[in-house]
Amino acid sequence: MATKGKNTNDADQTNPSITDPSTKIEAIKNLIFGENIQEYNSEFDNIKNDILAKKQALENLIEEVRSELIQNIDNLSTDLNIRITELESNIENNLDDLNEKKVDRRQLGQLLINLGEKIGKE
């Protein structure tokens, strides 16, 4: 019996990694997952890479949309400024036309000349 105890101690001393916790974890993983652990790791890596690729694609799409929105806002701003300028010009023209129609300056001038001539004759 002493020999058996001695052999067990000798095995522990010659292979100290058996008592190492990380080795125990590896041994448990091998028991649970067996040979499939590499396949699982590969699948997880593939999924991780796929998620990262999709994340990058979404970030690129967001940047494209942001750029398009900024361009559209700039275009809209330019269009609005042009239209506002046109409206201001139209309003000024319409006001000038109203002033001319309201008081015909030529006709008023002619009337004043006629009135002045009449006053001068008398």
Please report, to the nearest 10 degrees, the dihedral formed by the alpha carbons of residues 27, 31, 34, 39 taken in order. -70
Secondary structure (DSSP) of the chain: -HHHHHHHHHHHHH-GGGG-HHHHHHHHHHHHHGGGHHHHHHHHHHHHHHHHHHHHHHHHHHHHHHHHHHHHHHHHHHHHHHHHHHHHHHHHHHHHHHHHHHS-HHHHHHHHHHHHHHHHH-
Q: Which residues of the chain have pLDDT under 70?
A: 1-18, 122
**Rg for the chain (alpha carbons), in Å?**
48
Residue 40 pLDDT = 81
Does this model's pTM top 0.95? My answer is no
Give per-residue pLDDT as tens, 46-75: 999 999 999 999 999 999 999 999 999 999
Residue 4 pLDDT = 45
Residue 122 pLDDT = 67
Residue 18 pLDDT = 58
